[in-house]
Amino acid sequence: MNRSILTGQRLAAVFLLGFVLFNYPLIALFNKPAKLFDIPLLYLYIFAAWALLIGLMAWVIESRKD
């Protein structure tokens, strides 16, 4: 159960990270008409952050030992 709570806390931390990444003011930093790799910056940022969150959650879930 302790391990399970630890996993839950790690996931909650990912949630908090996501909450910060996907909200003002961080999102405003990327809200520019610029482009990176020919892709609009904001669009690229959101999908990269999104993929990062999913990767973190997958890592937390699949590496747990209970």
Partner 1 sequence: MLQGWVIASVSFAYLGVLFAIAYYGDKRADAGRSLIDNPTIYALSLAVYCTTWTFYGSVGRAASTGIGFLPIYLGPTLMAGLWWFVMLKIIRISKANRITSIADFVSSRYGKSQLLGGLVTVIAVIGIIPYISLQLKAVSNSFTILLHYPEIVMPAKAAAQPLLQDSALYIAMILAAFTILFGTRHLDATERHEGMVAAIAFESVVKLLAFLAVGIFVTYGIFSGFGDIFSRVESVPKLKSLMTVADTGASYGSWWSLTFLSMLSIMFLPRQFQIAVVENVNERHLARAIWLFPLYLLIINIFVLPIAVGGLMHFPDGSVDADTFVLTLPMAERQEALALFVFIGGLSAATGMVIVETIALSTMVCNDLVMPVLLRWKSLRLHEQHDLSGLLLSIRRWAIALILLLGYIYFRAAGEAYALVGIGLISFAAVAQFAPAIIGGIYWKGGTRQGAIAGLLAGFAVWSYTLLLPSFAKSGWLSIDFIREGLFGIALLKPQQFFGLAGLDEISHCLFWSMLANIGCYVAISLRVQPSVVETGQGTLFVDVFKRTAGAEGSRFWRGSAQVQELLPLIGRFLGPDRARASFLAYARQRGLSSIDALEANPDLVHFAENLLAGAIGGASARVMVASVVKEEPLGIDEVMNILDEASQVRAYSRQLEQKSHELEAATAELRAANERLKELDRLKDDFMSTVTHELRTPLTSIRAFSEILLEDPKIDLEERKKFLAIIVKEVERLTRLINQVLDLAKIESGNAEWHTANIDLHEVIEESVAATSSLFSDKRIGLDMALPGNVPKVRADRDRLIQVMLNLLSNAVKFCEAERGRVTVTLSAEEGEVRVDVKDNGSGIGEADQNTIFEKFRQVGDTMTAKPQGTGLGLPISRQIVEHFGGRLWVSSELGKGATFSFTLPLNGNGAERREERAEK
Distance CA 64, CA 54 (A): 16
> How many residues interact with partner 1 (rule CB under 8 A)?
34
Select the residue interacting with partner 1 from 2, 37, 63, 65 (CB under 8 A). Answer: 37
Does residue 23 touch partner 1 according to CB under 8 A?
A: yes
Closest by alpha carbon to 42, among 50, 52, 51, 32? 32
Closest CB 36 distance from partner 1, rounded Å: 11
Closest by alpha carbon to 56, among 9, 11, 7? 11
Does residue 35 touch partner 1 according to CB under 8 A?
A: yes
Joined together, the tokens standing for residue 56 give 């973190």
Please give the residue ranges that form the binding site for partner 1 (CB under 8 A).
4, 7-8, 11-12, 14-15, 18-19, 22-24, 27-28, 31-33, 35, 37-40, 42-43, 46-47, 50-51, 53-54, 57-58, 61, 64
